Structure 1
Amino acid sequence: MTSNFFAPAAALPPEVRRFWWLAAVASAAYALALRGAPYADQPVAKALMCALLLFAALYHRVPRERVWLCAALIFSGVGDVLLASPTVAQGFVLGLGAFLLAHLAYFMLFWRLRRRWAQVPGWHRVAIVLVWVAGALAYAMYWPGMGELKAPVACYVIVLAMMASAALLADLPGEWAPVGALLFTVSDALIGTTRFVGAIPAQEYAIWIFYALAQLLLAAGIMAMRTPPIAQAAEEHARRV
């Protein structure tokens, strides 16, 4: 099917679309509410986007993909709550672990849909190389400020790059999922920069906007309606694995 990158909701099944739009509205509302952060209900407000996307994911038409997508959104929501709860001991480390599991779930979903290298679009190949180069450079930049977190952050950077690479290899309609995965790397890179290097202007807004767009585009790319041959092949592949 043909797709308009700037209208991802149009490619979604009707039963999914309403929750996707609600998630988009929730993400915009949270961005506006950042002006008053921190506030008492901030963890709940932050996790609302992933909760609504989870409701959408329950209607995804490919069962095996649905399991991994739901897992990714659940772990993302947990990570959102932990990172928005400064009173939780080791909240950053626990949030890092939750998002690590979310990236692994996304990786498993995309890896099952991977194409042969010869079938991967040219810009996807270039982006895969850049993801790994950028990850190495970012880790080197974080190094002086990481302290005892050097090993966990190294693991996180590798898994994040694996997830983005798998999204770029996946055979899915449109460009929403690969672009979403790349935006996820940008958001996480900004978190690492503010944590280990120093504050940047409007960091809370930048991190959230890139992250929210990432989750919305990943969900749209995964749940977009597919032509019968692709959908049938995906289900047959899921049964064989």
Structure 2
Amino acid sequence: MPREREAAETLSQARRLWLAAALAAVAYGVSLRDAPYPDQAAAKVLMPVLLLLTSRHHASTRERTWLCAALAASTMGDALLAMPQLSFSFIGGLSAFLIAHVAYCALLAPLAGQPRGWRRIALPLLWGAALLAYVGFLPHLGELKAPVAAYMLVLCAMASLAVSARLPHVTVALGGLAFVSSDAMIAIDRFIGTFPGSGYGIWATYAIAQLSLVDGIVLRRGN
């Protein structure tokens, strides 16, 4: 059937782009041993750009729109966070990823259902850990108390929707939780103090988050 062959080829192209994004993520992670270096921002955004191209092959117009919006905002956030010499690097990156998480919420909300099994346990643990983390960060936030609180609320909402997604696989849930882990390490590194291997840990969990979300929405559900 011509339509089935076209759908299969589209999915094959998406898989090749996703694999290229995964390889770009690994390459950037390896390059962190030489960071900071010239054009680091360009190297960092390669993964989300390739995932954006992957997502353009998704059949659902609604899901494709929100997923591309989330990845476009993530690309901007990655670029800004990779340029700490800019005075607005952190707050700009925070704002871009806030937009990304809002887009992910819009993407995932129609897919959410009644959580069962381990998901029912994960949700209260997620929100409890977020509350304890915010209390711990609070003395170090200064004027960022409100922005960080807003960001954490949206982040946890996104992760909750990912965990609650009615999908036959766990990759979307894994992506949401990995995003929380990555952002938690960024907050510790920024507000409490850097720790050994923080750059590698932040990037690894972030890459797993984005790759898992795109894999779960685009690749494992097909076209």
Under a length normalisation based on structure 1, what TM-score does the superposition of the two structures give? 0.86
Could you tell me which residue of structure 2 aligns to residue 220 of structure 1?
215
Q: 1:30 to 1:183 in 2, by over 3 A?
A: same
Structure number with the bigger relative contact order (C-alpha 8 A, sep ≥ 6) is 1
Inter-partner Cα distance in structure 1 for 2:43 and 2:12: 25
In structure 1, list runs of 5 or more residues that go unmatched. Answer: 1-11, 232-241
For the 8 Å contact 1:173–1:226, the answer to whether it is kept is no
Q: Determine which of 55, 58, 62 is the counterpart of 2:56.
A: 58
Alignment of 1:23-38 (within 5 A): 23-38=21-36
For the 8 Å contact 1:100–1:156, the answer to whether it is kept is yes
Could you tell me which residue of structure 2 aligns to residue 79 of structure 1?
77
Could you tell me which residue of structure 1 aligns to residue 16 of structure 2?
18
Could you tell me which residue of structure 2 aligns to residue 190 of structure 1?
185
Q: 1:169 Cα deviation (Å)?
A: 1.4
SS at match of 2:65: helix
Inter-partner Cα distance in structure 1 for 2:58 and 2:51: 11
- Output one character per residue of 1:130-169: Cα deviation in whole Å (capped at 9) or x when no partner: 1111111111111111110000000000000000001111
Q: What is the aligned residue count?
A: 214
Could you tell me which residue of structure 2 aligns to residue 169 of structure 1?
164
Inter-partner Cα distance in structure 1 for 2:107 and 2:142: 33
- Output one character per residue of 1:13-54: Cα deviation in whole Å (capped at 9) or x when no partner: 212100000000000000010011001110010010000000
Q: What is the letter of the counterpart of residue 189 of structure 2? A: T
Note the aligned Cα RMSD (angstroms).
Answer: 1.3
Could you tell me which residue of structure 2 aligns to residue 131 of structure 1?
126
Q: 1:128 Cα deviation (Å)?
A: 1.1
In structure 2, list runs of 5 or more residues that go unmatched. Answer: 1-9
Inter-partner Cα distance in structure 2 for 1:225 and 1:141: 38
Percent identical pairs in the alignment equals 48
